Amino acid sequence: MRRFGKIFVAVVLLVAAIAGITYGSLLRAMDRAAEDYNHGDSEAALRQYEQVEQSLRSIGAFGLVPAKDRRSLRLNQARLLYALGRYDDAQERIADFNDGRFLLLKGEILFRKAMKNYRDSTKRDQRVLDDALHAAEDMFRESLRLDPNDWDAKFNFDYVSYVRSLMKQDPQGKIKILMENVRVEQQRPQALPPDLSP
């Protein structure tokens, strides 16, 4: 019986050691992804994050990872997809999360999609645009409710509110000028580095 107990303890220690080493290597891969991003290679960073998630899922350990690390992994993927203009993919990555950081990104995605759809549309229905902007404004409002000190959420909320008020004052003229002059789209994604918090 003692021999069985020793074997059992040895197996448990071996499994714990393997799990620790595996988890440590996945955290290093996330660090490499952040380095790739800092060197301007968003595609490589995204591939690193996706490989980390795929590795965790393949061994059935994604649910065992601390919640904070899971959220950071999904948020980083979504931010990179957003920066690459893949809004639908970004939205899919964060659909189940509702803390302030995720709501901020959801609002930004809604805003970018609304602007892109409006610009690309031949019909340019301003009611559809206003509905989409209203949804983005709601996301920013909720993000601010959860984190009142988030300056990005405050700026975005004020900006979308301003755009919507312009649309109500002079729907034809001002919205056309606004659509042509908004350059935030090229600048904003670069201001969203991956979440580096452990």
pLDDT computed for residue 49 by the predictor: 83
Share of the chain above pLDDT 90, in %: 28
pLDDT in tens, 25-81: 666 777 777 787 777 788 888 888 888 888 877 777 677 777 888 888 889 899 999
Across the range 134-144, mean pLDDT stands at 94
The mean pLDDT of the chain is 78
CB contact at 8 A, 99 and 71? yes
Question: What confidence category does residue 190 fall into, taking pLDDT thresholds of 50, 70 and 90?
Answer: very low
Tokens linked to 63: 């649910």
pLDDT computed for residue 162 by the predictor: 87
Quick one: how far is CA 73 from the chain centroid? 9
Amino acid identity of 62? F
Measured CA to CA, the distance from residue 7 to residue 73 in angstroms comes to: 36
pLDDT computed for residue 136 by the predictor: 94
Question: What confidence category does residue 174 fall into, taking pLDDT thresholds of 50, 70 and 90?
Answer: low
Across the range 149-168, mean pLDDT stands at 89
Q: ∠ CA 103-107-34 to the nearest 5 degrees? A: 65
Q: What is the pTM of this model?
A: 0.74
